[in-house]
Amino acid sequence: MMHGITSEPVEQYLYSLLPPRDEVLAAMESEADRRDIPIVGPLVGRVLHQLALMHNAKTVFELGSAIGYSTIWWARAVGENGKVIYTDGDRKNADEARGYFERAGVANRIAVKVGDALELLSEEKHTFDIIFCDVDKEDYPRAFRLAISRLRKGGLLVADNVLWSGKVADKNPADASTKAILEFNRLLYNSPDLFPAILPIRDGIAVAVKK
Ligand SMILES: C[S@@+](CC[C@H](N)C(=O)[O-])C[C@H]1O[C@@H](n2cnc3c(N)ncnc32)[C@H](O)[C@@H]1O
């Protein structure tokens, strides 16, 4: 489990409050831990699920889904008639994710797409209730520009890792990922089309509503 930007005892306390997950999510968490797969984990999973419930979201486009952990949190929130688009550039991830979707009983609400997530989003003709960004961080500014036009009015743009282990507060960040996240956060707060907020949970989650 990745450590967040809150202090270790606070982090421990937040995790201690969580009810146990079902066997599928629990198995995915163990697997992610064992293989170092950077999933959002249950603290953020619950936020994603809650956002979808609050918005009565029925359509979610996810950029960067790995083994499908966050996808399942979305899929359970959108309900029987909802649709979540899973995207990942790695076919092996997608095959593994399909197995988990079957086991979790949500395969029929998830469309699995393999390829460049940004390209796949740009091909979409419809708008979405929620677009969730969790691809390579260098892609965040481009994902931002693409996502805005594909969100319905009142829809949410959600992004993980926007505090990047606290590196966003470095005086002179040199690495490309930190720079891209700083640019993404700037775009978010300067956009006349969005009303954003950053939740400093785990590695920071941005939530922006389209006006
Ligand atoms: C942080 S992981 C996603 C974790 C997932 N959202 C979760 O919490 O369960 C990022 C994933 O995005 C994929 N990825 C990164 N950049 C991508 C891109 N441009 N297009 C498609 N997949 C990408 C990687 O293969 C990796 O599996």
Whole-prediction pTM value? Answer: 0.97
CA of residue 1 relative to chain centroid, distance: 16
Task: Dump pLDDT digits (tens) for 18-52.
Answer: 999 999 999 999 999 999 999 999 999 999 999 99
Q: Cα(63) to centroid of ligand 1, in Å? A: 7
Rounded Cα distance, 19 and 183, in Å = 36
Cα(99)–Cα(67) distance, integer angstroms: 9
Mean pLDDT of the chain: 96
Element (H, E) at 208: strand 205-210
> What is the model's pLDDT at position 9?
92
The whole-number pLDDT of residue 48 equals 98
State the pLDDT at residue 4.
64
Q: Give, for ligand 1, the residue of 134, 140, 158 to mutate: max count of ligand atoms closer than 8 Å to Cβ.
A: 134
pLDDT given for residue 6 in this prediction: 85
Residue 111 has pLDDT above 60, yes or no: yes
Q: What is the mean pLDDT of residues 2-13?
A: 81
How far CA 115 is from CA of 30, 51, 203, in Å, comes to: 26, 26, 26
Q: Return d(Cα 161, Cα 206) in angstroms, integer.
A: 8
- Per residue in 43-59, pLDDT (tens digit) is 999 999 999 999 999 99
Nearest-atom index, ligand 1, CA of 115: 21
CB-count burial class (<10 Å; 0-12, 13-18, 19+) for 34: exposed
Q: How far is the CA of 93 from the centre of ligand 1 (A)?
A: 9
Q: Please state the rounded mean pLDDT for residues 161-169.
A: 96
